[in-house]
Each structure stands twice: as C-alpha cells, then as structure tokens.
Amino acid sequence: MNPDQIILISPQGWFQFKEGHCLPLEPWSGLEGSALVVVDFEQSQSGVQACKGKAEYAAALIEKNVRTEGLVEGPLQVFIHKQIRHTDSTLALFTAVPLDAWQQLQTWAQGQRDHCLVAPLIGLLPAMATEGRAHVLRAGTQLHAYSESDGKMHYAGATALGTDVADMQAPLRALMAQLRASAGGEASQGMLWSSTLTDDVGSEQTLASKLAELSSQEVKLVPHDTLRGEGTDRRSSSLSHLIGAAGQKAVQASGLAKLAWMSESYVLPLAAMIAVVAVGLGGFAVFSHQRAQQETQVAASMQGDMEGLRQRVALVNQAAPVPELDASMALTRQLGHAAIYDPVQMLDTIRRAAGAAVRVQNVQLVKADATNKARFRVDGVVIDGRNEELSRFLTELKREGWQAEPANPGDNSVGAFAYQLKPVVNKSL
C-alpha cells in the first residue's frame, strides 16, 4: 500500500508523515489525499489468548474475557490481528478497545474526501517476526514484543516513566522476563527493534544494544526514515517499513474498502470504479435477499409472544369493560403505571436492530426502584460469536435512542450477552 500520507494517533498526539515531513496534526481535522492511519489506542488491552472451538468464535470469547477482567469498560471492539489454528482451538493476537472510541474514529475516517484506512498499532508486530525471531516496537513510553515458535504466539508489554534511554532500562528487563516466562517465547533467531517516532535514532540503537545484552541475542535495528520536523528539527520513524511488511493484513476495513484502495494502484480509474460498483451491487443483492429472509424469520419467531400479549389484554378488557383501545394502549394499561415506555414498540425496535445474526432470547421491562428509573433488559446471543454483529446491534439501538449498559448474561454460551437499555437524553421511543 502506498498512501499519500501516514497519520500516527498516539497518547503523545496526532502526527502527519507526508513528503519527508513529520508535523503535528490537529485531531479530527480534514485530510488532503489518501491516508493510512496507525492508531496506538490509549485505553486498550492487547495480548495473546487461546480460544477453544472455531476460529470465528475467538473475538466473542476474547470480549467476554476482557469484560470479566474489567480492564476496558463498556461495550468493546475486538481486533484479531493474527490467528494460529490448532485441532480444537486457536491462538489469537488481539487488541480490545472501547466501542465508542472505535466508532468515532471510523466516522472521521469515512468522512474524508479520499481513501482513509485504519490500522491498529499492534497489527504491525507480526509481519516482522518470523519463526524464532522476536520484534520489539517502542511507541512513546510503551514497549511491545511479539514472537512465534513451534505453532505458538508470544506477546509481552511494558511501560516506562519517560522516553530517555535511562527510563527504558527497567521496562526492557521486564519485557525479557515476560518472554522467558512464556514457554518458547525467548527468541532463538535474534530480535528486531523499531520505533513509531523518535527524536534520535542513535538512542534507538543504544536501546537495541542494551536488549542484546539482556537477551544474549543479536538485535538488528529496523530501517528508520529521517523526517523533517518543525524548523530545523529532525525525527525518525520505522512506520513506513512496518506498513510495507504488514500490507493490508494490518488494516481494519471491509473487503470492499480494501478492494477500492488496491484497485486504484493497479488498474485504470474507470476499471477500478466498475469493479468496485460491481462488487458492491452484487453484495447488496445478496444482502437484500438474506435480509428479507431474516426479517420473515424474526417476525415469525415473535408472533407467539405477540399473541400471548393480545390474549392477556383481552382478559383484562373482559373483566373491566372500558372504551375501546388499540393493542399498545391496552398493554400499557395492563402493565400499570410502571410502563413508562411502549413495550410493543420496543419489541419492534429490538427486532429491527437484531437482524438474523443476533438471536434475542428475552426482553423484560424492569420497573423503577429507589435508585433507578424504569428500563428495559435484553438478553440474547450472537450467532457464530461474531463480534462485529454485536457492535452493529448496539449501534442500531443507539441510533433508535437507546443507550446500552452491560449486564451479567444468564446464558454462558459463546456470544451470550445482556444489556440494560435506557433512553438517551432528549430521545424517546
């Protein structure tokens, strides 16, 4: 991939690498030309996790584990950077980030006038790490290490108090201790050292030499590009080399977006447009057909619940005749003053948001108490454990005016979830 520019988003700020320059960039500003955005998420968790079952379930299992540990709060977006499959399990290198942060970043990237693709920083680690050779990447005060050996993946991370060479001594020792503790994690074929952005490439060479002493292995420095900063400043970065080695595998985007990017590099603009439109129309036709079938199945599955509600309303009306009411008003009266919101319309909202990939098991109206207002609770399971479908479900609910707060699911199966739904301020059902 050859973008017009590389954008680095990190806890230290936003930086634009373009035409041999590295300059600070105002966050969320517009870009001219195509861009590849490398993101070092500040609130995130990365690592390697063994997941039982099919590889497609890995994201859902990782999300459940991260939520249990509580290291990242709220709904999550899990990125799987690389997987090694075994007979009945899979190993996955992942990054978990808050869903709201990822959606904000995606909205900004999609709003750019030219192609703008996003690559999480950890996704650049595996490309440089061959069998038995570890790759250490410094990003500000963070150190990340990754290696592979005998069908296993090994990840280690450490944080320094500053960016000086002296500040990195203790984190380097901690990094090596983690790799040694991971069976087979210590590199036998040498190590590579790279950095996202540094003021002095000589300091990176010094740190690489220190790592060689600690590991008793040869440590090579990944090539760093020299960039002109503000005024007479000079800075260096290995990002362009890491991106070139990783290719589109590091990018988190739809296949259609990747195809649009790649097609412009190899064919005439007209041919690229025809290819993208053809794929898009074909995908839309298949999606529309499947969506129609999904809507029919969901409507049929909820018909029994609706019929039960109608029968209960009819019994109430027989016991105490009142002027004729439509079905939703009768149901509201039957539920009493605790029914602040229209449950019938809520069922329809959840049905439309769920689609076929999310199976809703239970929708409950929880009455108000001394500390909480009335709210809905929805329990369900994501079919095949696809994390992106759960993200889509939550996004649709938010668009309808409902804020989801995680709850403990009653089902322990793969992909199970539970959320309490509260209305967004100034929005109603």
Percent of the chain topping pLDDT 90:
39
What topology does CATH give the domain 294-423?
A: Gyrase A; domain 2 (3.30.1360)
Condensed to tens digits (0 to 9), the pLDDT of residues 144-203 reads: 999 988 888 999 999 999 989 999 999 999 999 998 887 666 667 889 999 999 999 999
Does the pLDDT at position 337 exceed 50? no
Instruction: Specify the long-range contacts of residues 303-311, CB closer than 8 Å, at least 24 apart.
Output: 305/347, 306/344, 306/347, 309/344
Mean pLDDT over 275-287 rounds to 63
pLDDT score for 372: 77
Q: pLDDT band for 375, please (50, 70, 90 cuts).
A: confident
pTM over 0.75: no
Domain ranges of the chain: 5-266, 294-423
Condensed to tens digits (0 to 9), the pLDDT of residues 409-428 reads: 877 777 788 888 888 765 44
Dihedral sign (CA 63, 66, 68, 70): negative
Condensed to tens digits (0 to 9), the pLDDT of residues 110-119 reads: 999 999 999 9
pLDDT score for 21: 95
Q: What is the layout of strands, in order, in the sheet containing 225-228? A: 116-120, 35-39, 5-10, 13-18, 21-24, 225-228, 234-237
Condensed to tens digits (0 to 9), the pLDDT of residues 314-326 reads: 675 565 454 454 5
Condensed to tens digits (0 to 9), the pLDDT of residues 223-250 reads: 999 999 888 889 999 999 999 998 888 8
